[in-house]
Structures are given as structure tokens and as C-alpha cells.
Amino acid sequence: MRLFRRLKSLFSQKSPELKRFEKRLQYTFGNTYYLEKSITHRSVQNHHAGNYERLEFLGDAIIDQVVSNWLFKKYPKSDEGILTKKRSSLVNRSFLSMLGRNLKVMDVVRIEQSVNTKDPKVIANISADVYEAIVGAIYLDGGFKEAYKFINKTLCLSEHLAGEDQNYKGQLIEYCHCNNLPAPQFNIVESHGPEHEKTFVINVIISPEQKWRGIGSTKKSAEQDGAQLAINSLLGS
């Protein structure tokens, strides 16, 4: 019992880093164990909280349920095909990755140095995984209502950013023009991989203080990804 209390006390202590992360999440964990677990990569061995894979599994299911319910209520006249398409755009890995990167999850992820965190694909995958894990963690810590609130404010209310057919690059250029900002620059930072499976990384730059990094399998998709992050940030979504 004494050991349990000591461990419970240890888990309840939050570093300044985690407290800042909670502010970004706009959710405060009652049990730090779930927060720690949601940001611990499987490469980390013998961590007291374990890794986030089980939370990721749980979060994925909760996201699907919440988004389905939200779309069903928001679009009462839409048929099954349209609802399915809208749901797919909201729960796909690319969009979840963007949400994770908006929350700056890579700043807090516990991960071994053996994992190449400079690889854009690794960053994209981990960002999506951790977003799902955070949903699972919030559900276990605060219940379905809190998980629903988190998904609603971070995912559902960003629906306008999830459409695959949107021209985010064009939107960003128009936004800069209308707000007297410099025209955005789209600069290729790197590209790697075989010809049939290349990954492109592009910096979207408006000013030295306003930079975003896009990732994609083509130059165009990387530009769109970076522009989407920029629009999301500039609009405060």
C-alpha cells in the first residue's frame, strides 16, 4: 500500500513541460499516468507508464464514434455515401497527423534516439498516433464527455480544413494578399526515397517568424500540407 501511494504521488507530479502541453490540449489530467502513457513511444523500454499503442487503439475507436455521431446530427439530409466521405476526410491519417502537429506533440513525445525523428514520415505517423492516444487517455481519465469535447474542439470544428479537394495554397496566397502580408514562399527542404515512393518536405515561409513545414508524397501535396498548417495557424483553428 505504501509503495502504491508513492507511485501514485510520483505519477501525479507534472513537469512544467507537461503543464504547458496540457494548456495546448485545454485539458488537465487528474491522473498523470494516462498523460505519460499517451506520449510514450514503443521504443522506450521499461517506462513506468508503458507505451501509447493501446491508448491509440482506444482513441481510434472513440474518434470514429464521435465523428460519426457528429456528422449524423450536423447533416440530417445527407445520405450514407456523403456521410462516409465526410467521415473519411476527418479521420484519415494525414488529417490526424496535422492535428497532432498543431498540438506540437513531438515536443513532448518520449522516444529513443534510435528512432529517426528527422524522417518526415516518422513525424507524420507519430503525430497521428499520439493524437489518437491522447483521445484514449482523456477518455480513461475524464470519461466520454471530456473525450467528446476534446475531439469536437480539435477535430470536428476544423472540418473546413479537412476537405481533400481544397486548394490550401491558393487560400494562403489570398489570405496574405488580403491581409497585406508578404506572398508565401514554398521552398523544397529535402526529398528522399525511391522514385515510386518519394517523400517531399517543403517549408512554407511568410516571414522569419512565420514558418511551417509540409510533408507529402509529391511536391504539390507537400505544398498543400504546409499551406493547410499555415492557414490553420493564422486563423487560430
List residues with catalytic annotation. Answer: 60, 132
Cell numbers linked to 111:
522516444
Q: What size, in residues, is the chain?
A: 237
Return d(Cα 121, Cα 127) in angstroms, integer: 10
CB proximity list for 183: less than 8 A, separation 6 or greater = 173, 176, 177
Return d(Cα 39, Cα 4) in angstroms, integer: 22
Return d(Cα 103, Cα 100) in angstroms, integer: 5
CA distances from 205 to 134, 167, 182, 216, 222 (A): 30, 17, 9, 17, 13
Please give, one letter per residue, the 3-state secondary structure of 28-85: CCCCHHHHHHHCECCCCCCCCCCCCHHHHHHHHHHHHHHHHHHHHHHCCCCCHHHHHH
CA 193 to chain centre: 24
Query: CA angle, 10 as apex, 7 and 15 as ends, to 5°?
Result: 160
